[in-house]
Amino acid sequence: MAATFQYPFQCIKSVERRNSGRQLIIGSAGPKIYTYAAETGERLGIWPETANTAEAKAAPSTTGEEPPEKRRKVSPPPDQKPEDSEPASQKSRKPEASPAWSTIPILAVSADGEYVVAVTAEDKCIRVFEVEENGALKQLSERQMPKRPSAIALADDDRTILCGDKFGDVYSLPLIDTGKGSVAPRAPAKVRPDQPAATTLTVHSKRNLASLEQQLRHYGQKDKNSAEEKPSSTFEHHLLLGHVSMLTDLICVSIPMDSSSEKKRSYILTADRDEHIRVSRGPSQAHIIENYCLGHTSFVNSLCIPQWAPEYLVSGGGDNYLLVWRWNEGRIVQKVPLVDETSDSEVAVRGIWVTDKMVLVAIDGSAKLLCFTLESDGTMKAQNSIQASGNVLDLTISSKDSAVLVSVDAVHVAGSTQEWRATPSSSSTLIEAFRLKSDTENVEWEPMSEAITSQVNSQGTSEISATLEEKQKKELNDALYSSGNLRKKNLGEDE
């Protein structure tokens, strides 16, 4: 018996195509992106195509044996470092080669539903796809960023991608690659000087002087073969702002200048691992910091501004509470506890989303989706939560009927980010759908059994063997539940 799990959807997005009005669901699972028709759940495409021809041929109902070549799709050993050997502009990947990444941790969709932006983890690439007529994804560009992207947002009416990275910098890139080289202001600094910056006037110790002498010799030699310059990145990108800390979330928002004016002002909100939320002006003036929202005592992982109440921000992370802000003033409106005051268990907020009237909050490694209403004074009121059958990984809200489509982790035991389920269930659950009961006063959720969920679940994604080595299991744990690693621990005694 083949004991296999299915890769759960790490990201799931609902897409409404403005031109045709068609609804799609896209999800990333393992190294692939899947697209589905929202009404029927019919699978429309898988990217990358070349690596899964066998699977595309498989009938939707097969959940049995698995073609042997899929085994290779588990993440490459870390010591191979595929991202370093892979040039950014590699267009013709050999069809047999497994992709250079094992997960796709970020997906973003343009407001018009015509473009999808994805980040592939190990090779640090931002990939832009066009959604084709038939629903398949066609890659338009791949741009390798200097550091691994950790947050993506679209700005300027979808014309610009904002990308925050592990080192805290935020870059802007045109959605459609212009093919022009980068004109980043840092470029002149990268030009190699023809002599060391240190001189005998600035270094004095014996050791430093010795190494300076060596450098001088070294520089002399380099003049001869200075031709081998490392090419700087070949696409246009601009550094907008930076934190000296890992950037964890990034949103771009426009609000009216004042109540009487039609004019809007745009802002970029960025969160980092060192508890900060920074409010900067929009992309053209992102170097002007308007204020900070300071109130978290652990990393901030998720920012959310309801489109129907854009003056409020809900933020969460490694603290056992959420904060509601009037972000433009940097003022805390409310501290919302996530666990009992008495419990000292550590929680990490996985994500915060809004429906047309609710705020939904997922906790890392929890099958319960917390649900709040945002009152007119900006305070949040806890409502009945949604119980999924496994840990909530991501969710998306269907724009058509406000159904909440939840991506569920059927690999791990519900409530744990480490422990795998003993035996894979015969047909694993990938997504579940919920809607508000319409006939009750209170907020009550009911599961929906729609074509989309059953169809998506029965088609599956690609499979993971249940008999993986511990090391490989841990890699998948870390890929799905990375926020635990954001917590500061083992602070060494400084001296």
Partner 1 sequence: MTPPPAKRQKRNEYRKANTAVADDASEIRLPQKKFYRQRAHANPFSDHQLNYPLSPAHMDWSSHYPAFVDPEPSHTNLAGTRKLLKDVEVVDIGCGFGGLLIGLAPLLPESLIVGMEIRVSVLEYVTARIQALRSQQQKLRSSAIPSESSPAAQQPQQHHQQQLQATETAADAASPSSPDATGETLSLVPGNYQNISAIRSNTMKFFPNFFARHQLSKIFICFPDPHFKARKHKARIISETLNAEYAYALRPGGLLYTITDVEEYHHWVLRHFGEEGADAGQNAGVTELFERVSDEELEKDDCVRVMKEATEEGKKVTRNKGNKYVAVFRRKADPEWPA
> Segment 39-98, which members bind partner 1 (CB under 8 A)?
none
Quote the strand ranges of 17-58, DSSP E. 23-29, 32-37, 43-47
Instruction: Give residues with Cβ within 8 angstroms of 367, minimum separation 6.
Output: 387, 388, 389, 390, 391, 392, 408, 414, 415
Figure out which of the listed residues 22, 265, 421, 435 binds partner 1, where binding follows CB under 8 A: 265
What does the per-residue mask of binding to partner 1 show for 173-192, with x meaning CB under 8 A?
------------xxxxxx-x
Q: Is 229 in the site for partner 1 (CB under 8 A)?
A: no
Which of the 8 DSSP states describes residue 124?
T
Q: Is 297 in the site for partner 1 (CB under 8 A)?
A: yes
**CA angle 84–89–93, rounded 5-degree value:** 85
Figure out which of the listed residues 138, 222, 287, 335 binds partner 1, where binding follows CB under 8 A: 287
Q: Is 230 in the site for partner 1 (CB under 8 A)?
A: no
Q: Is 245 in the site for partner 1 (CB under 8 A)?
A: yes
The residue (of 123 and 275) whose beta carbon lies closer to partner 1 is: 275
Q: Among all chains, which residue has been given the structure tokens 């393992």? A: 30
The residue (of 255 and 443) whose beta carbon lies closer to partner 1 is: 255
Q: In angstroms, what is the minimal distance from the CB of 193 to partner 1?
A: 7
Size of the site for partner 1 (CB under 8 A): 48
Strand, coil or helix: 490: coil
Q: Is 435 in the site for partner 1 (CB under 8 A)?
A: no
**Residue 480 identity (one-letter amino acid):** L
Residue 177 · residue 219 · CB < 8 Å: no
Picking from 101, 149, 98, the residue whose alpha carbon sits closest to that of residue 122 is 101
Q: Is 227 in the site for partner 1 (CB under 8 A)?
A: no
Stretch that binds partner 1, among 13-21, 40-48, 101-109, 165-173 (CB under 8 A): 165-173
Q: In angstroms, what is the minimal distance from the CB of 278 to partner 1?
A: 8
Residue 311 · residue 301 · CB < 8 Å: no
Exposure string over 392-414, b if 16+ CB within 10 A, otherwise e: bbbbbbbeeeebbbbbbbbbbbb
Q: In angstroms, what is the minimal distance from the CB of 200 to partner 1?
A: 9
Distances (CA, A) of 299 to 189, 279, 415: 32, 16, 21
Q: Is 485 in the site for partner 1 (CB under 8 A)?
A: no
Q: Is 295 in the site for partner 1 (CB under 8 A)?
A: yes
The residue (of 286 and 464) whose beta carbon lies closer to partner 1 is: 286
The residue (of 71 and 281) whose beta carbon lies closer to partner 1 is: 281
Picking from 317, 248, 256, the residue whose alpha carbon sits closest to that of residue 278 is 248
Stretch that binds partner 1, among 50-58, 118-126, 201-209, 352-360 (CB under 8 A): 201-209
Picking from 348, 363, 434, the residue whose alpha carbon sits closest to that of residue 398 is 434
Picking from 48, 55, 148, the residue whose alpha carbon sits closest to that of residue 99 is 48
Picking from 277, 273, 257, 268, the residue whose alpha carbon sits closest to that of residue 154 is 268
The residue (of 136 and 212) whose beta carbon lies closer to partner 1 is: 212
Residue 275 · residue 299 · CB < 8 Å: yes
> Segment 327-386, which members bind partner 1 (CB under 8 A)?
none
Q: Is 218 in the site for partner 1 (CB under 8 A)?
A: no
Figure out which of the listed residues 1, 201, 227, 422 binds partner 1, where binding follows CB under 8 A: 201
Figure out which of the listed residues 291, 379, 454, 465 binds partner 1, where binding follows CB under 8 A: 291
Q: Among all chains, which residue has been given the structure tokens 């917590």? A: 487
What does the per-residue mask of binding to partner 1 show for 386-425, with x meaning CB under 8 A?
----------------------------------------
Q: Is 219 in the site for partner 1 (CB under 8 A)?
A: no
Q: Is 495 in the site for partner 1 (CB under 8 A)?
A: yes
What is the C-alpha separation between 329 and 290, in angstroms, rounded?
A: 9
Residue 305 · residue 327 · CB < 8 Å: yes
Distances (CA, A) of 387 to 155, 306, 408: 34, 23, 11
Figure out which of the listed residues 48, 67, 181, 196 binds partner 1, where binding follows CB under 8 A: 196
What is the C-alpha separation between 435 and 339, in angstroms, rounded?
A: 25
Q: Is 289 in the site for partner 1 (CB under 8 A)?
A: yes
* Residues binding partner 1 (CB under 8 A): 167-169, 185-190, 192-193, 196-199, 201-202, 204, 239, 241-245, 257, 265, 274, 276, 278, 280-282, 284-285, 287-289, 291-292, 294-295, 297, 488, 491-495
